[in-house]
């Protein structure tokens, strides 16, 4: 894996990206009306998981606000 900050790679279904906080693994998905999102830093031992029972977890910016509240950078594509 490249060490370039900002580059995105895939590993077992998770995107892997070097960030200023370290290597971030993340994944998101939906099944119609429900959304899910997670990201974690394996080396630091912490992360976040969010489940939404509506289809606007991302479009309402709620997920972004939660991640930024936790002093991390939102990057969902």
pLDDT in tens, 1-34: 555 666 776 667 788 888 888 899 988 888 888 8
pLDDT attached to residue 49: 92
Residue 9: what pLDDT?
Answer: 67
- The dihedrals phi and psi of 62, each to the nearest 5 degrees, come to -60, -45
Q: What is the pLDDT of residues 27-71, one digit of tens each?
A: 888 888 888 889 999 999 989 999 989 888 888 888 889 888 988
- What's the longest Cα–Cα distance across the chain? 36
| Structure confidence at residue 11 (pLDDT) | 63
Domain ranges (residues) in the chain: 8-69
Q: What is the pLDDT of residue 77?
A: 53
């Amino acid at each position: 894996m490249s060490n370039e900050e900002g580059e995105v790679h895939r590993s077992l279904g998770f995107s892997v990206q070097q960030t200023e906080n370290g290597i971030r693994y993340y994944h998101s998905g939906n099944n119609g009306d429900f959304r899910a999102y997670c990201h974690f830093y394996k080396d630091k031992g912490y992360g976040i998981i969010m489940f939404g029972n509506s289809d606007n977890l991302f479009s309402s910016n709620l997920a972004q606000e939660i991640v930024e509240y936790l002093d991390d950078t939102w990057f969902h594509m």
